[in-house]
Amino acid sequence: MQTALLFLVGVAQALLLLLLAPLLSGMSRVLRAKFHSRQGPPILQDYRDLGKLLARAEIIPAEAGVVFRVTPYVLLVAMLLVAMAIPGLMTRSPVSATGDLIAVIYLFALGRFFFALAGVDSGSMFGGIGACRETTLAVLNEPVMVLSLFVVALLAGSTNLGVISASIFAGPTPAFAATAMAMVAFAFATFLEMGKLPLDLAEAEQELQEGPLTEYSGCALGLFKWGLFLKQTVTAALFLGIFVPAGAAARFAPLPLALAAVVLVLKLVIVFLVISLVENTMARLRFLSSSGLTFVAASAALLAFAFSLAGI
């Protein structure tokens, strides 16, 4: 019975993030317009855009194969599974099958792999270049994400996201420095995973015409964009669920869960506000310069690992 209730919490959490994702993206667009001294689109514009795209027929390039067709669905399903597993509404992972650290990492990698492969399969030059950049960023970012999460898993004694979140929620750990450095490293990995300036190198609208998305249209493009919006929201929620679990419900009850939902939305709004401030005060990096920033994050992750071994 308890497993079924937790599964329902996971489904509700995934639906909440799925419906909230276009709103947070629209908020980022509004803030960007304000920084540029423009009026900008309405905050609900992304909902309208998705509605129009989902109602249109799609045109598939003659060179495209099966991967091109299934990628929007793979990305969306992978991110929904991660959304169900995050300890967001509760301090424990609602779905234990995907609530393992290793499973979550592989789901993120699956979405990124198909995203890059779709760019190659489209037959577009822009899509191919965007796919190459996406895989390069994966090589630079995924070790940082894996190592920073491995540090907190090592300190918690488990790879279950709920156990890791509960250990941090319980209070200061003996290895406070290791946890703090892991948080810094994972914050950077989260920023890069969300594809925001100055590191939105794979899509790069002004250079690559959105890279792997170039040849998508209609319903497929709408699902792809919704999946990318959800990926940004889920990545931010994963960071909050592990390192800032305050406000999550400790037990299954309607009132604590409702309050936890409100707190989760507020925390996500704050994260997107901070990220919007950062991305609107920086220019896009040259592709060859991106490794410099990721080297700093990798150094922080390695330092966190060293601190965890030393117990500080």
Structure tokens at 42: 């309405």
Q: What is the pLDDT of residues 169-187, one digit of tens each?
A: 776 667 888 999 999 999 9
List Cβ neighbours of 148 (8 Å cut-off, separation of 6 or more): 182, 183, 185, 186, 189, 300, 301, 304
Distance of alpha carbon 36 from alpha carbon 259, whole angstroms:
35
Distance of alpha carbon 146 from alpha carbon 153, whole angstroms:
10
* Amino acid 147: pLDDT: 93
297 close to 187: Cβ distance less than 8 angstroms: no
* Amino acid 116: pLDDT: 86
* Amino acid 74: pLDDT: 95
DSSP 8-state code for residue 104: H
- Collect the ranges in the chain with pLDDT lower than 50: 202-204, 206
* Amino acid 41: pLDDT: 86
Distance of alpha carbon 161 from alpha carbon 152, whole angstroms:
10
* Amino acid 203: pLDDT: 47
Distance of alpha carbon 307 from alpha carbon 227, whole angstroms:
36
* Amino acid 238: pLDDT: 94
List Cβ neighbours of 222 (8 Å cut-off, separation of 6 or more): 49, 50, 52, 53, 54, 56
Cis peptide before 198 (omega within 30 of 0): yes
* Amino acid 240: pLDDT: 94
Q: What is the pLDDT of residues 241-268, one digit of tens each?
A: 999 988 888 888 888 899 999 999 999 9
Q: What is the pLDDT of residues 11-52, one digit of tens each?
A: 999 999 999 999 999 998 888 888 878 888 899 999 999 999
60 close to 216: Cβ distance less than 8 angstroms: no
Q: Residue type for 95, please?
A: V
